[in-house]
């Protein structure tokens, strides 16, 4: 059996936006590997693009993203010129018939870009790739970056969904994470987007932050619900100061303990559900008519490096430093360091630093873990139908888990289901099917 002996409600676990997870990527995946994977994308297939903007004009101490703080725009402008060259390299490596079905701009802060540069970036993507008629374009927004010109640019660029970082509206919490952002500023951005036709709005909340309490997270949820977003995400703060040094600026004595985190999460989730939102996977909520809720109901919910999604594309092309691409054959991550990233592109090479080529067993485990994270269960018959004999060992592990931990995983016919009382710990359950966990020196954030 894999790591099941250690899985039971472990204190820490991966977030499983991929399997194997990024700490197990290695340098054996190179430019030539990824060009081969790109060339193998099916003719006419729709792919997704992730565009990483690795800059912020303030450094939020809680953030674990690959970003850098800058108060000057010159590094941003220089980066965009390199990014345009990478876009051209990627397009040249893909079959001409490939289409783009979804674009996500993340960071960092994509809204740090000037309105002119934001529009030019989207114009470049549309001129380089053929977009499907119903392609979605989503962008992560820091509300304190926004002004009327940026709102106009987002609408003119064809953005269909905007995700706004909220975290917590209580000023004591905001000061403790160096992210002061009023409810009034956030509301103004939401209203400005809606007035320009961008009606799909996501709000991202975080529990487990310093000085947070059940009362403060409840107040934040109430204010957020008053804006009636299409989706709400409720993330647990990942305190990983060994990975992100600036998190050492956070007073660890002010962080809630495990029980307090669970109480905050439970209270917030209950309030969101009471407001008519459907729970999606581990930490997302959506209005019943939102595409994420519709995908969850029909068993089409997916999980990728941006989290839960209704994006059905099998191939994700990551552009920008540290971004990760996902192919049928495996994963590839760009160099995080700007200098290494730039020099590779100047040589006409894809800026790949590391990755992972999937085996048959990896694909089975990846699918099982994704289904657990999305649906809290999976079908043995479907696993066998998809993967044949490769699925047998993993299905047998699921049977053994049911026998050992019937209060965690149950079986009815060919279906395995995470028990309701264990669903808050689904990351730990998924870790029971992770054959790489425990190898190497990877450290993970708290599991709940």
Which residues line the annotated binding site? Answer: 50, 56, 60, 62-64, 107, 140, 167, 179, 204, 238, 324
Tell me the C-alpha distance between 284 and 278, whole Å: 8
CB 94 within 8 A of CB 43: no
Tell me the C-alpha distance between 95 and 44, whole Å: 8
Question: Residues within the annotated binding site for [4Fe-4S] cluster?
Answer: 56, 60, 63
The three-state DSSP-derived secondary structure of the chain is: CCCHHHCCCCCECCCCCCCCCHHHCECCCCHHHHHHHHHCCCCCCEEEEEEEECEECCCCCCCCCCCEECCCCHHHHHHHHHHHHHHHHHHHHCCCCCEEEEEEEEECCHHHCCHHHHHHHHHHHHHHCEEEEEEEEEEEECHHHCCHHHHHHHHHCCCCEEEEEEECCCHHHHHHCCCCCCHHHHHHHHHHHHHCCCCEEEEEEEECCCCCCHHHHHHHHHHHHHCCCCEEEEEECCCCCCCCHHHHHCCHHHCCCHHHHHHHHHHHHHHHHHCCCEEECCCEEECCCCHHHHHHHCCCCEEECCEEECCCCCCEEEECCCCEEECCCEEEEECCCHHHHHHHHHCCCCCEEEEEECCHHHHHHHHHHHHHHHHCEEEHHHHHHHHHHHHHHHHHHHHHHHHHCCCCEEEECCEEEECHHHHHHHHHHHHCCCCCCCCCCCCCCECC
Contacts of 44 (CB under 8 A, 6+ apart): 97, 98, 99
**Tokens read off for 230:** 């299409």
Question: Residues within the annotated binding site for S-adenosyl-L-methionine?
Answer: 50, 62-64, 107, 140, 167, 179, 204, 238, 324
The three-state DSSP-derived secondary structure of 59-102 is: CCCCCCCCCEECCCCHHHHHHHHHHHHHHHHHHHHCCCCCEEEE
């Amino acid at each position: 059996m894999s790591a099941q002996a250690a899985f039971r409600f472990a204190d820490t676990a991966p977030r499983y936006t991929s399997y194997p997870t990024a700490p197990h990527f290695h340098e054996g995946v190179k430019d030539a590997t990824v060009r081969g994977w790109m060339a193998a994308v099916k003719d006419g297939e729709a792919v997704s693009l992730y565009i990483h903007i690795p800059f912020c004009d303030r450094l939020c101490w809680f953030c674990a993203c690959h970003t850098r703080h800058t108060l000057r725009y010159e590094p941003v402008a220089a980066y965009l010129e390199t990014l345009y060259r990478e876009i051209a390299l990627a397009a040249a490596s893909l079959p001409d018939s490939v289409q783009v079905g979804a674009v996500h701009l993340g960071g960092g802060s994509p809204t740090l870009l000037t309105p002119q540069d934001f529009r030019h970036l989207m114009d470049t993507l549309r001129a380089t790739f053929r977009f499907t008629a119903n392609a979605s374009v989503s962008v992560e927004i820091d509300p304190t970056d926004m002004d009327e010109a940026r709102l106009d640019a987002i609408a003119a660029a064809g953005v269909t969904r905007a995700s706004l970082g909220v975290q917590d509206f209580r000023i004591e919490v905001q000061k403790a994470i160096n992210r002061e952002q009023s409810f009034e500023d956030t509301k103004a951005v939401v209203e400005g987007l809606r007035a320009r036709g961008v009606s799909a709005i996501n709000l991202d909340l975080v529990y487990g932050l310093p000085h947070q309490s059940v009362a403060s997270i409840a107040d934040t949820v109430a204010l957020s619900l008053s804006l009636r977003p299409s989706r709400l995400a409720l993330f647990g703060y990942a305190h990983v100061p060994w990975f992100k040094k600036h998190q050492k600026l956070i007073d660890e004595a002010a962080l809630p303990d495990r029980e307090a985190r669970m109480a905050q999460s439970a209270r917030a989730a209950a309030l969101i559900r009471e407001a008519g939102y459907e729970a999606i996977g581990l930490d997302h909520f959506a209005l019943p008519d939102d595409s994420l809720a519709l995908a969850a109901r029909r068993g089409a919910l997916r999980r990728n490096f941006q989290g839960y999604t209704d994006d059905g594309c099998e191939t994700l092309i990551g552009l920008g430093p540290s971004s990760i691409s996902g192919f049928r054959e495996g994963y590839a991550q760009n160099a995080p360091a700007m200098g290494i990233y730039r020099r590779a592109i100047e040589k006409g090479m894809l800026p790949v630093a590391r990755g992972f080529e999937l085996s048959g067993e990896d694909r089975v485990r990846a699918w099982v873990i994704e289904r657990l994270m999305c649906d809290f269960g999976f079908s043995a018959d479907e696993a066998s139908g998809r993967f044949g004999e490769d699925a047998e060992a993993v299905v047998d592990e699921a049977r053994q888990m049911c026998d050992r931990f019937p209060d965690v995983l149950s079986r009815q016919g060919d279906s395995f289901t995470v028990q309701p009382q264990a669903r808050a710990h689904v990351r730990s359950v998924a870790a029971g099917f992770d054959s790489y966990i425990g190898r190497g020196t990877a450290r993970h954030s708290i599991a709940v």
